[in-house]
Amino acid sequence: MMKEDLAVTNFRNYIRIKTVQPNPDYAACTEYLRGQAKELEAELQVVECVSGKPAVIMTLPGQDRSLQTLLLNSHTDVVPVFPEFWKYEPFSAHKDENGDIYGRGTQDMKCVGIMYLEALKRLKKAGHKFLRTIHLTFVPEEELGGTEGMGQLVKMDVFKNMNIGLALDEGYANTSDKMELFYGQRTPFPIYIRIQGQPGHGSQFIPNNAGEKLRLVINSVLGYRNEQERKLRENPELHLGDVTTVNLTVVEGGVQTNVLPAEIKVTIDARVAPSDVGTFEAKLQGWLKAAGDGITYEARELCVLKEQTCVDDGKNPWWDAFSAACKKENLVVEKKIFPASTDMKYVRGLGINALGFSPLNNTPRLLHDHNEFLNEKVFLRGIDIYYSIILNLANLKPY
């Protein structure tokens, strides 16, 4: 039986720590990361922006600390599981005969955090020095939107003093030979609508009732959804992140069968494409106005994302260094807008270059799904890729 690569063992041990929402074991996770920092000989800080929700920060000082730095970010929490649907216990990090490692977080995104660490260990062992300082952040609460994790960390002096030039964070697995690179992301726009109307007996034609207004709101919202879906389907050059999605997710209201409700509440999950930022809310207001009076809304945790990192060759030295490393590793990279949401929304909001990248190809996309797994060969290949990427970025000369 072949001896397991130590990097794989470290990865599996990380998966076994139950940092699962809604009650992540952050204490055990922090202790594990302390051990990794010690092995890496990195400076370590544990910052609790919110009590009980630690961000672990490792730092490898560069030769010129006046230069902008490289940030390698990952989140420590994972989404809930339904064990009855899993082939193996979700936190066992079971490895089958094919080398597939099963566990919540294998793709999203504990793999990337360990890839960073293992690539840096190899780089140091090989005697490489870094011109620029490298920071690694392991942050909490990303799966709940990051408001009590990266959302708070970016406001603190410890983050501001990092002087970050480029931040790397998660991307997606790709089922083909290609790898996806995300240079921006859509704006998460959860919308909470309250529709008030005239109550009355269910046997009557009551004017100005909430149900009729709801129908008009839904027609407008889902009509726009169909329009955007058609736009994506008819243009092969577009990806999901290039269009806006709006989906009806929650409807609440009513007291009993024969009583028209005085109020209906509706929740809409909208993800606004960069091209729609600045115009989408006006569309929403128009739909609600057309549906009648007594309709109000609020959008919570809105983080407007117009910022995109330049990924045109010759126009951004950070991108050129990243791209050169990908070419060295013979990667075929597809550049896209990230369709969902990551902690980079807070970093991009500060005007910092940010790229989303998980070096996982020939892998089914199973983040948040049952039986999430990652093959150990894909994992080890990811370390090789980050070896080249980190080496290029950390030694990017002043520009």
Q: Which domain holds residue 236?
A: 188-299
- 258 and 202 in one domain? yes
Please list the helix, strand and coil fractions of the chain in percent, rounded to the nearest 5, in that order. Answer: 35, 25, 40
What pLDDT score does 2 carry?
73
- 236 and 255 in one domain? yes
What pLDDT score does 399 carry?
85
Cβ-based neighbours of 312, under 8 Å, separated by 6 or more: 319
- 166 and 29 in one domain? yes
What pLDDT score does 278 carry?
85
Of residues 228, 217, 78, the one with CA closest to residue 138: 78
Report if residue 124 sits inside a domain.
Answer: yes
Domain count, the chain: 2
Note the residue count of the chain: 399
Q: Where are the beta strands (DSSP E) in 273-399?
A: 295-299, 333-338, 353-357, 373-375
- 313 and 288 in one domain? no
- 314 and 206 in one domain? no
pTM of the entire structure? 0.90
**Contact assessment for residue 380 and residue 195, using Cβ atoms and an 8 Å cutoff:** no
Residues marked active site are found at 77, 142
- 66 and 23 in one domain? yes
The residue ranges of the chain whose pLDDT is under 50 are none
In what helix (H) or strand (E) does residue 280 lie, and over which residues does it extend? helix 280-291
What pLDDT score does 300 carry?
67
Report if residue 1 sits inside a domain.
Answer: no
In what helix (H) or strand (E) does residue 158 lie, and over which residues does it extend? helix 157-160
- 361 and 219 in one domain? no
Question: Residue 159, class by beta-carbon neighbours within 10 Å (0-12 exposed, 13-18 middle, 19+ buried)?
Answer: buried
- 157 and 198 in one domain? no
At position 310, the amino acid (one-letter code) is C
What phi and psi values does residue 372 have, to the nearest 5 degrees?
-60, 130
Report if residue 138 sits inside a domain.
Answer: yes
- 130 and 85 in one domain? yes
What pLDDT score does 303 carry?
58
Which DSSP symbol is given to 3?
A: P
Residue ending a domain, among 299, 320, 339, is 299
Instruction: Give whole-number Cα distances, 31 to 26, 27, 35, 38, 46, in Å.
Output: 9, 6, 7, 11, 10
- 142 and 18 in one domain? yes
Residue ending a domain, among 275, 299, 323, is 299
Cβ-based neighbours of 382, under 8 Å, separated by 6 or more: 111, 112, 115, 358, 359, 360
pLDDT in tens, 179-238: 999 999 998 889 999 999 999 999 999 999 999 999 999 999 999 999 999 999 999 999
**CATH code, domain with 282:** 3.30.70.360
- 177 and 51 in one domain? yes
The Cα angle at residue 81 between residues 79 and 83, in degrees rounded to 5: 165
